[in-house]
Every structure is written in structure tokens, then in C-alpha cells.
Amino acid sequence: MPLSPAVDFRAIYDAFHSPTTPIDCGLMCAPHNPHGIPFCCDICSAVPVAYQSEWQYLRKNTDLWHVWRGDECAGEDNNRKQLMAQTPPHLRLLACKGSTECQRDFRAVSCRQFPFFPYLTSDYRLIGMTYDWEFTAKCWVISNLAAVTADYRREFFNTFDHIFSTWLEDMDSYIELSVETREHYAAKHRRIPLLHRNSGAYLISPLSERMVRVSVNAFKPFHPYANSHSQDTAQSTHNARVENIRLSGYD
């Protein structure tokens, strides 16, 4: 069912256009993908979604997208019914022509926000952005959060402030995802990494939601990108981790 009232997606796209990092992060992750393309553009790694009314806008203005069929990833089985069942009704699973034919002006909001999603507290405040933990071994950006630009962060929050003020259904979806995030990190006995909307970086207890401000370099780089940091960054990261270890527990 389409969300209501209408949202001007051309205006959203024009206001959420800054690259995530100063460099083309796809060039950093593609060499690690057996398919030789950025993971976020690989339908075998990630199936994009669009808001139902966003899909209506896209289908009228570009030939970049089609409704995901479930057979786009050659040689791999997709549990189409399961993925569709997990997709909220206000979203539509899509597939595009691929990275070599990308029309950047018509990237969906889900493309622009990747690998991040809005994090909301248990009292429903949008305080920051965190990453999809399922992509820690794939996405270069997740291992290089210090590279995320201030312009991108500002546009991310402005976009979701606008969407949430218009569509409570979408805010509800991210409230549920934030609950799942706290449960995931609690089970791992780890804190939630957060890029705060105040421009700071924090580690959040998944139990008490207590926040500890840290250097953005405190966040753990993941294989295969753990060795891609400069020596200075590695030392800064080490120092920040030592400081974090001194904190009592993760609650």
C-alpha cells in the first residue's frame, strides 16, 4: 500500500546527493568481490528497496530499475518468498541494470543511505546512524567511518527527518530495526557503533543505552580492510581501543 501523503522524490534526491566518502568507495571494495563489482551494486549481495511511491516515480522517469524477480543472481538460489515476507508493505524490492549503467541521479534512497540506517532510541529519538552489520566483511566504508563526510551526514539526517515527519510507517520500521540492533549487539556483548547527528562518534550500550563518546578511529576495521588504514590511523585506533577497554562492561 503506498504511503500517504506524497513525497517529492526528485527534491529528496537533489538534497541527498553527496558521496559517502571523498573517494569512490566502490573502487575499494570491488577487488574483494568475486564478481568484480561494488558489493552494494551486486544483486547477489544486496537487494535494493524503494518506497512504493518512490518506485512509481522511478518507473516513470528512468529505465534503470525493474521489480526484483528473484532470478537476477545467476547460479544462486534466492528465497524469494522469505525475502518478500520480510519486506515491509510500504517498500518494494527492486533490481537495477548494474554499476556500469548506473544513473546516479536516479539512485533510490536505499542506495544513497547504504551501508547506514537511522538509529532510534527506545524513546523514539533519531540520534544517529549506524551500519548494517551483515556487510562488515564486504563494505569498505564500514571499516573507514572516519572517511564519511560531514556533508553526507548532514544530508542523511535531513532526509530522514523529512521522511519520518511525513511517514510514520517508515519511522516505525526503523524503530523495529533499532530494537533488533540492540538485541544483536547485546547477544554479541558488544556496544553499538554510532555516528551521532551532533557530528560526534559514540559507542552505545545495547542494554542501558548509555553513550560513550570516542574518536571515530575507535571503531573496529574488519577483514579484509583491517590493514588498509595508515600507520597513524592504526595507532590512533589502538589508543582508542585501549581507552574503551578500561570502561566497565558494556552496559
DSSP assignments along the chain, one per residue: ---SS---HHHHHHHS-S-SSSS-HHHHHGGGSTTSS-GGG-TTT---EEEHHHHHHHHHH-SSEEE--S--STT----HHHHHHHS-TTEEEEEES-GGG--GGG--HHHHHTTEEEEE-TT--EEEEEE-GGGTTT-TGGG-GGGS-HHHHHHHHHHHHHHHHH-HHHHHHHHHHHHHHHHHHHHHT-PEEEEETTS-EEEE-TTT--EEEE-GGGSPP-TTSTT-S-HHHHHHHHHHHHHHHTS-S--
- Is residue 136 assigned to a domain? yes
pLDDT confidence of residue 47: 95
Q: Which grid coordinates are listed for 27? A: 573502487
**Is 1 part of a structural domain of the chain?**
no
pLDDT at 115: 98
Domain that holds residue 17: 9-245
Assigned domain for 132 exists: yes
Number of folded domains that form the chain: 1
Tell me if 73 is assigned to some domain.
yes
Query: According to the model, what pLDDT value does residue 242 have?
Result: 35
What per-residue confidence (pLDDT) applies to 234? 44
Distance between CA atoms of residues 121 and 95, nearest Å: 32
- Residue 4: inside a domain, yes or no? no
**Does residue 35 belong to any structural domain of this protein?**
yes
Residue 200 lies in a domain: yes
Q: Is residue 250 part of a domain?
A: no
Local confidence pLDDT in tens for the 251 residues of the chain = 555 568 899 999 999 999 999 999 999 999 999 999 999 999 999 999 999 999 999 999 999 999 999 999 876 666 788 888 889 999 999 999 999 999 999 999 999 999 999 999 999 999 999 999 999 999 999 999 999 999 999 999 999 999 999 999 999 999 999 999 999 999 999 999 999 999 999 999 999 999 999 999 989 899 999 976 543 444 444 444 433 433 345 56
SS3 135: helix
